[in-house]
Amino acid sequence: MKSAIIVLFLLAGPCAALHAAIVGTNVPARSLTVERIATLPAKEQPAWREYLARSQKQKQADQDALRSELKALGLSQPIVPPTGRSADDLALDRPAPWYGGKGALRQADIIVSFQTPAGGWSKNLNMTTQPRAPGEAFATDNNNRFPSPGDFDQAADPHWHYVGTFDNDATITQMRFLAKVVTASHTRKSPYRTAFLRGLDYSLNAQYPNGGWPQVWPLEGGYHDTITLNDDAMLHVLDLMHDVAQGSPDFAWVPSGQRARAALSFHNGLLCLLAAQIQKADGRRTVWCQQHDALTLEPTSGRNYELPSATSSESASVVLFLMQLPHPNSNIVAAIRSAVAWFEQTKIMGQSFKKTDGAGRQLLAAPGSGPIWARYYDLGTDRPIFGDRDQTIHDDVNELSLERRNGYGWFRDTPKRVLARYPLWLQANAH
């Protein structure tokens, strides 16, 4: 499999790992375009062309709806709504009767007001104080706080950014909250029911022909078009589709036709997830990347410092998701076994990534500690790699700029949960 990273350690000798270096340069992910679709086999092209056209039409409709509001109000620019952590503010763990009370209904009203014409929600919105007012944008200011020339995270339109997204738990959290309100209020005809079903249509419309989901829909371009496992975005959609299809308690009221569509969506999404598992040149499967190209499923970049690589934390979430599926088939079992073997191979013992006096966080010797895993591993060598805002790729986290070294989770221990659960899972599912 070709990597978007300049080949690492090409000239490495036995002592190369002792000398930290810039070992590559990250390159941006590719958008989904008509030109790229034209490179697919002829029989695959119609579905992708229809998808792209539908996305573009919906984006235009969303923008036209806001322009119409602005024109009616005599405004030249939309009002920026208040920021917040919308997904964190919407509690999904209250006792069931609470969702039929005044507090939950008020939050549900705010949620409905911020739903985009397409049916999704943006991220980082304050959904606790007041409903969206006419003329307010559907999204707050989600632009990069550290802009630079050639920034992968630079919005094509800074005024239209993350308008409808699965990032930061957006859309799926709002839908789960609304489903609880509908269930608790015992009503089948309400704005909450309508908004949930619109959100379900949004999630189904956003799904790629190959079963994956982009980070943003309608499509925005750049890494937002990639099939996104970062922050478990695709897993959250799959979880929702599974619960809807099964008629779980919060979704027992969903009409049978929509439940059948959710079941098919889940099936296709699971196939895509398994197909995206990274495969070595010798055929061995390993884990997943944070982002996979929409058309090729190859690992690709996200932000400047998010690398085409084998990733530990997101991959652990994928395996934990696969482990909880009942009656796993042989493909799921093989995917889990391959990933567990990779986690065992790449774990780091006797080191800790921690704060130091005046030098920020550093990876230091810590006898007896571990295991931990690097966030990213080179696709060819399985050695840890680290990215900086200037798109450079390093083999030593201590070489990163202080801002990036302190501002990102370069080491995680999420795979520990996989390794702890694996023996019991294997005993129950050995084929």
Active site residues: 168, 303
Backbone angles phi, psi at 6, to 5 degrees: -55, 140
Q: In this structure, what DSSP letter does residue 188 have?
A: S
Q: Which of 340, 314, 336 is nearest to 429 (CA)?
A: 336
Helix residue ranges, H only, 21-44 = 34-37
Tell me the Ramachandran region of residue 247: left when phi exceeds 0, alpha when psi lies from -120 to 50, beta otherwise. Answer: left
Rounded Cα gap, residues 148 and 153, in angstroms: 9
Query: How many Å apart are CA 380 and CA 223, to the nearest integer?
Result: 22
Rounded-to-integer distance, Cα 225 and Cα 258, Å = 25
- SS3 assignment, position 374: strand
Contact 171, 202 (CB under 8 A): yes
**For residue 414, which of 345, 316, 329, 333 has the smallest C-alpha distance?**
316
Q: Tell me how far apart the alpha carbons of residues 21 and 292 are, in angstroms, rounded to a whole number.
A: 27
Cβ atoms 154, 112 nearer than 8 A: no
Give the residue among 272, 373, 264, 274 at the shortest CA–CA distance from 322. Answer: 274
CB 240 within 8 A of CB 229: no
At 220, phi and psi to the nearest 5? Answer: -115, -15
Helix (H) or strand (E) holding 384, with range, is strand 384-387
Tell me the residue ranges of DSSP E strands in 247-383. 291-292, 299-300, 310-311, 351-356, 360-365, 373-374, 376-377
Helix orientation angle between 313-323 and 415-429, rounded to the nearest 10 degrees: 30
Q: Which residue has the tokens 């300049």?
A: 6
SS3 letters across 227-270: EECHHHHHHHHHHHHHHHHHCCHHHCCCCHHHHHHHHHHHHHHH
* Beta strands across the sheet bearing 227-228: 227-228, 291-292, 299-300
Find how far residue 102's CA is from the centre of its chain.
32
Structure tokens at 431: 């084929």
